[in-house]
Amino acid sequence: MKKMAQAQATRFASIDPRTGEVVAYHQVDDEAAVAGAVERAQQAAEWWRGLGFTQRRRRLLSWCSALTRQVDELAELICAETGKPRDDARLECVLVIAHLDWAARHAEHVLRRRRVRSGVLMCHEASSVAYEPCGVIGVIGPWNYPAHTPMGSISYALAAGNAVVFKPSELTPGVGRALAENLAAVVPEQPILQVVTGFAETGAALCRAGVNKLAFTGSSATARKVMATCAETLTPVVIECGGTDALLVDADADLAAAADAAVWGAMANAGQTCVGVERVYVVDEVAASLTELIVTRTRRLRVGGEPTADLGPITRPDHVEVIRDHVADALACGGTALVGGVESVRAPFVEPVVLTGVPETSTAVTEETFGPTLTVHRVANLEDAVRQVNAGRHGLGAAVFSRRRGAEIAARLRCGMVAVNSVVSYAAVPSLPFGGVGDSGFGRIHGADGLREFSRSKAITHRRFRPVVEFLTFDRPAWAVWLLLRIVRVFYGSFIGR
Ligand code: NAD
C-alpha cells in the first residue's frame, strides 16, 4: 500500500539511512517523461557517434578529470544516500575514475575496424570487422555502489559511442543526478547521459521506451521482470545480479591473509556487495586456526553511522528482515553463531555475524544474504569445496587461498571471476570483464568485453580479385562444386599438418 502511494506520487524523497532524514526530493518520472528522455538520447547518440573515437576520448577524459576534482562531494552524497563509511565511498569513487579512464583510452583500439583472415576458400575477399555503437543504452542500477555499479555500464557504453538514459535506484537518485550533471558541465552540447528517477514503474517504462539495449544491475527476482518487459519489444539485455560468493582456503594458504580477506570481503559495505564473501570453505587441517582468526578480526569491527565506522547501516530498510531470516534459519538448521546472532540485527544496523556448522540447504547458504554475515564450512579437501560451490544457483565471483593450487582451483569454479590469494581484486582491474553465470546473470561489463557488449559487430568483405572459379553465382560451371569439394577434402579431410 505504502509502495503504491509512493509510486503514484509525483516526487519522492531519498533518505539518509543513518538518521532517517531527507537528503533531497526527486521526480517520479512517468512513461511520457522516460519516452522524452529516450527521444532526446536518440539525437544525442547520433551526435556522439559522429564525433568519432578521438573526440569522444577527449571529452570522456575531461569528465574523468572533473569527477576526480569532485571526489569529496560525490563521496559525501554517496554516504548520505547509502550510509556507508566515508572511505568506502571514496574507494568507490576511485573505481569509477579508473574504469572511466580505461574505457575512454581503450575504446578505439578494441572497437575500430580490423582485418581478419578470410580463409583458404575465400582468399579473394579482404575481410574486416568493426564494432559500432548500439544507439541508446538504458541503464537500471542498484543502490549498494550507486556510482561504481552503474558506471560499469555507463562508462563503457559512452566510450563505445552510445548515449545513455540511466534510472538509478530509488534509494540513491541523487548520486545518479550528480553523475549526469557533472558530465553535462563538461559535455554541454548534447545530453549523452540523462537520468530518470522513480520506482519499478519508471524502470519498466525505460525497458519499453525503445532503447537499443538495456543494462540491468540488481536482484535476480527483478532481473526476471526486466527481461519479461524487454521481451515485449525484443530489447536485448545485459543482466548483472547478485551472488553467494565463496572463499576457499587450502591447507597451505597464508591463513592471516585468508582471514583478513574473508572478513573484509564479507563485512565491508556492511556485506552489501554483489561480489562480497558469503561463505568460507576451509579444509579440516586448518579450519580451527582460520576460524579463530576470522572471529578475532570480526570482533574488532565497529558498526555505526559515523563516517569513520567500519560498517554503516543496512541501506535498504526492508532488507533487514531478510538478513534476520537467514541468520535465524541457519541457527534453526543446526548452525552455531561464533560472533553475534539474531540479536545482531538492530535496524538500521546489523552487527557482524559469523556462523559455522550451517547445512548447505539453509537459506543463509543458498540465497544471497547481502548483510554482514559469514558462514564457515569445514571440508575434507578442496575438491569437496569446489563441488559444493559449483552446486549453487549463483556464479558471480569467488576467491581461493592456496600457495600451490590457486590457479587450478580457480579454473574449476563455475563463476565469472576469481581472485587467487586476494578478494574482489578483479573488480578493480578495468581490463578484466565482470559478470556472472546462472542466477548471477549474463553478459559482461568492464574491459574489452564490456566495450563490445555495448556495440554491434559489423562484418565487411571486400573483393580483392576475381576468383578462378566463381561459386556464389547461378552461372558457375557444373564442375565448380565438385572442384570445391576436392579442395575441401584436401584441406579439411585429415588432421595431418593441422
Ligand atoms: P532491485 O532488483 O530491487 O532493484 C534494482 C533496480 O531495478 C532499481 O533501480 C529498481 O528501481 C529497479 N526495478 C525494480 N523493479 C523493476 C521493474 N519491474 N522493472 C524495471 N526496473 C525495476 O535490486 P537492489 O536492491 O537495488 O540491488 C541489490 C541487488 O543488486 C543485489 O542482489 C546485488 O547483489 C545486486 N548487484 C549486482 C551487481 C553486479 O554487478 N552483479 C552489482 C551491484 C548490485
User: What are the residue numbers of the active site?
Assistant: 240, 274
In the DSSP assignment, the letter for residue 12 is E
Tell me whether residue 466 is in a domain: no
The CATH number of residue 174's host domain is: 3.40.605.10
C-alpha of residue 154 to centroid of ligand 1, in Å:
16
| Res 1: pLDDT | 43
CB 375 within 8 A of CB 358: yes
Tell me whether residue 155 is in a domain: yes
Locate the ligand 1 atom nearest the alpha carbon of residue 434 and give its number: 40
| Res 5: pLDDT | 47
Element housing 27 (H / E) = strand 22-27
Q: What DSSP assignment string belongs to 142-186?
A: -SSSTTHHHHHHHHHHHHTT-EEEEE--TT-HHHHHHHHHHHHHH
Pocket test for ligand 1, best of 171, 172, 219, 229 (most atoms within 8 A of CB): 219
Whether the full predicted model's pTM is greater than 0.85, yes or no, is yes
- Provide the residue-wise pLDDT of the chain in tens; the chain has 498 residues: 444 445 467 999 999 999 999 999 999 999 999 999 999 999 999 999 999 999 999 999 999 999 999 999 999 999 999 999 999 999 999 999 999 999 999 999 999 999 999 998 999 999 999 999 999 999 999 999 999 999 999 999 999 999 999 999 999 999 999 999 999 999 999 999 999 999 999 999 999 999 999 999 999 999 999 999 999 999 999 999 999 999 999 999 999 999 999 999 999 999 999 999 999 999 999 999 999 999 999 999 999 999 999 999 999 999 999 999 999 999 999 999 999 999 999 999 999 999 999 999 999 999 999 999 999 999 999 999 999 999 999 999 999 999 999 999 999 999 999 999 999 999 999 999 999 999 999 999 999 999 999 999 999 999 999 998 899 999 999 999 999 999 899 888 887 655
Residue recorded with cell 574482489: 424
| Res 313: pLDDT | 98
Pocket test for ligand 1, best of 81, 140, 222, 446 (most atoms within 8 A of CB): 222
CB 329 within 8 A of CB 100: no
CB 268 within 8 A of CB 364: no
Any atom of ligand 1 within 6 Å of the Cβ of 222: yes
List the domain range (segments joined by +) for residue 364.
246-429
Question: To 10 degrees, the CA torsion angle through 254, 255, 259, 262?
Answer: 60
Any atom of ligand 1 within 6 Å of the Cβ of 140: yes
Same domain, 231 and 376: no
| Res 9: pLDDT | 79
Any atom of ligand 1 within 6 Å of the Cβ of 170: yes
| Res 8: pLDDT | 60
| Res 491: pLDDT | 87
**Number of domains present in the structure of the chain:** 2
Tell me whether residue 380 is in a domain: yes
Same domain, 164 and 267: no
Any atom of ligand 1 within 6 Å of the Cβ of 142: yes
Q: Give, in order, the Cα–Cα distances in Å from 249 to each of 148, 227, 330.
A: 29, 37, 22
d(CA 401, CA 494): 45
Same domain, 129 and 168: yes
Any atom of ligand 1 within 6 Å of the Cβ of 217: yes
Locate the ligand 1 atom nearest the alpha carbon of residue 229 and give its number: 19
Residue with the smallest CA separation from ligand 1 atom 13 is 200
| Res 75: pLDDT | 98
d(CA 335, CA 357): 5
Tell me whether residue 153 is in a domain: yes
| Res 4: pLDDT | 45
Going by C-alpha positions, the residue among 8, 12, 369 that lies closest to residue 172 is: 12
Tell me whether residue 142 is in a domain: yes
